């Protein structure tokens, strides 16, 4: 498995001396769906700002496709074309007079031809179901709509690594589900997606890999079942076990059933498993 981006012994201290990341090393594999989980203040947003070169580490190195970032203007520009970030607050990202102009901004900046821009925008609009909003000024949109437009803007640039900071925060369950559906649909082997969340249920269901961040330190990195079975780790990191995993685990324990190799990750799969375990 190839590494797309990595950090080596990165420490980040804010100007007011807050130590947000502590000697942190991390590798992100190409083509995966990864959830960075951790509660408020864990350092998730800081980590993301470092991954896209907005912040420069106080100590340590960042590598993109195995090449060390030098923080020159050209280097940063290249990095930002390959690493697209969707901020938690869409208002910091949307600034054009219409949704259409906003989505077009990125590909236009990349220097694509008019025809290529059109294709990129159309595809992004289709995937995010933002067609009806194209003529609207972004500041009139609801939060769920703004988030979809911000995601469309990043898709239109076709980055190798897409980073989304708490993409479902503040959304109701319907729109949160819709965003997660989009993030499943746009994933493919040449597009790595890294999102942050404090919602363990969502991370468990969506991700191929989980990274647990607590107090500026990486506590664990592994498959969702590996990470979320470790109750001690979750307790230390102030996180809960995902509901589907907890129910299934308790049932297995009660029935003294052999540990199944396939854990359910959705409600539907859990119901299927339960029907096979419970007597009719
Ligand atoms: N601009 C800033 N100046 C000083 N401290 C900050 C700043 N932004 C974040 N922090 C601090 O850095 C730590 C990590 O914050 P953050 O990366 O925002 O965590 P998360 O996104 O996981 O909630 C927290 O202690 C937070 O208070
Ligand atoms: Mg944050």
**Separation of 250 CA from ligand 2 center, angstroms?**
32
Atom index in ligand 1 nearest the CA of residue 46 equals 17
Closest CA to 29 of 50, 1, 51: 1
Q: Are 117 and 104 in contact (CB under 8 A)?
A: yes
pLDDT at 280 (0 to 100): 61
- Give, using CA atoms, the residue closest to atom 17 of ligand 1: 43
- Is residue 125 within 8 Å of residue 134, measured between CB atoms? yes
Supply the residue whose CA is at minimum distance from atom 14 of ligand 1: 43
Residues 26-60 have pLDDT tens digits of 999 999 999 999 999 999 999 999 999 999 999 99
Query: Closest-lying ligand to the alpha carbon of 46?
Result: 1
**Confidence class of residue 257 from pLDDT cuts 50, 70 and 90?**
low
Residues 268 and 274: beta-carbon distance below 8 Å: no
Radius of gyration in angstroms for the set of CA atoms belonging to the chain, rounded to a whole number: 20
Ligand 1 binding pocket (C-beta < 6 A) is 14, 16, 18, 20, 38, 40-46
pLDDT in tens, 136-160: 999 999 999 999 999 999 999 999 9
Q: What is the pLDDT of residue 261?
A: 62
- Phi, psi torsion values for 83, nearest 5 degrees: -120, 110
Alpha carbon nearest to ligand 1 atom 2, residue: 14
Q: Can you tell me the distance from the alpha carbon of 37 to that of 24, in angstroms, rounded to the nearest whole number?
A: 15
Residue 51 Cα to ligand 2 midpoint, Å, equals 14
Q: Which atom from ligand 1 is nearest to the alpha carbon of 165?
A: 21
Average pLDDT for residues 78-104, to the nearest whole number?
90
The pLDDT assigned to 90 comes to 86
**At what angle are helices 114-128 and 143-155 packed, to 10 degrees?**
140
In the prediction, which pLDDT does 258 show? 58
Say what the pLDDT of residue 260 is: 57
* pLDDT value, residue 16: 97
- Tell me what the mean pLDDT of segment 12-20 comes to: 98
Per residue, what are the HEC states of 144-205?
Answer: HHHHHHHHHHHHCCCCCEEEEECCCCCCCHHHHHHHHHHHHHCCECCEEEEEEECCHHHHHH
Domain residues of the chain, as ranges?
3-235, 242-280
Ligand 1 centroid, distance to 11 Cα (angstroms):
13
Task: Give every CB contact of residue 46 below 8 A, 6+ residues apart in sequence.
Answer: 12, 14, 20, 21, 55, 216
CATH class of 3-235: alpha beta
| Cα dihedral across residues 207, 249, 214, 173: positive or negative | positive
Mutation to probe ligand 1, out of 19, 20, 50, 56 (largest number of atoms < 8 A from CB)? 20
**Residue 255 confidence (pLDDT) above 80:** no
Nearest to 205 by CA among 221, 220, 188, 183: 183
Residues that place a CB less than 5 A from ion ligand 2: 44-45
Number of H helices, E strands in the chain: 11, 10
Question: How does pLDDT run across 183-232, given as a tens digit for each residue?
Answer: 999 998 889 999 999 899 999 999 999 999 999 999 999 999 999 999 99
Span from the CA of 191 to the centroid of ligand 1 (angstroms): 28
Calculate the average pLDDT of the chain: 92
| Average confidence (pLDDT) over 89-104 | 88
Residue by residue, DSSP assigns 60-108 as EEEEETTEEP---HHHHHHHHHHEEEE-SSGGGT--SSSHHHHHHHHHH
In eight-state DSSP terms, residue 113 is -
Say how many Å lie between the CA of residue 43 and the centre of ligand 1: 6
Contact 47, 60 (CB under 8 A): no
Ramachandran area for residue 53 (φ above 0: left; ψ -120 to 50: alpha; else beta): left
Confidence of residue 278 (pLDDT cuts 50, 70, 90): confident
Could you tell me what percent of the chain has a pLDDT over 70? 97
Report the separation in Å between the CA atom of 238 and the middle of ligand 2, taken as the mean of its atom positions: 16
Quick one: average pLDDT of 85-92? 89
């Amino acid at each position: 498995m190839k590494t797309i981006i990595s950090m080596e012994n990165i420490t980040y201290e804010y100007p007011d001396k807050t130590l947000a990341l502590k000697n942190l090393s991390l590798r992100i594999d190409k083509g995966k769906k990864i959830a960075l989980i951790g509660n408020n203040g864990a350092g998730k947003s800081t980590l993301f700002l470092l991954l896209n070169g907005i912040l420069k580490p106080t100590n340590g190195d960042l590598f993109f496709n195995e090449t060390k970032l030098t923080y020159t203007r050209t280097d940063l520009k290249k990095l930002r074309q390959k690493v697209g970030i969707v901020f938690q607050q869409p208002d910091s990202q949307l600034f054009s007079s219409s949704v259409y102009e906003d989505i077009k901004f990125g590909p236009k900046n990349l220097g694509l031809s008019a025809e290529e821009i059109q294709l990129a925008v159309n595809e992004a609009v289709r995937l995010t179901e933002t067609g009806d909003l194209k003529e609207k000024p972004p500041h009139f949109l609801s939060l769920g709509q703004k988030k979809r437009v911000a995601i469309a803007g990043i898709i239109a640039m076709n980055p190798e690594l897409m980073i989304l900071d708490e993409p479902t925060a503040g959304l109701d369950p319907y729109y949160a589900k819709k965003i997660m559906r989009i993030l499943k649909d746009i994933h493919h082997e040449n597009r790595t997606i890294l999102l942050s969340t404090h919602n363990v249920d969502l991370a468990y269901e969506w991700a191929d890999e989980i990274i647990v961040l607590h107090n500026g330190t990486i506590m664990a990195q592994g498959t969702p079942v590996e990470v979320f079975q470790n109750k001690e780790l979750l307790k230390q990191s102030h996180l809960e076990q995902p509901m589907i995993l907890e129910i299934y685990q308790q049932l297995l324990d009660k029935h003294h059933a052999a540990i199944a190799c396939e854990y359910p990750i959705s409600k539907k799969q859990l119901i299927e498993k339960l029907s096979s375990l419970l007597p009719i």
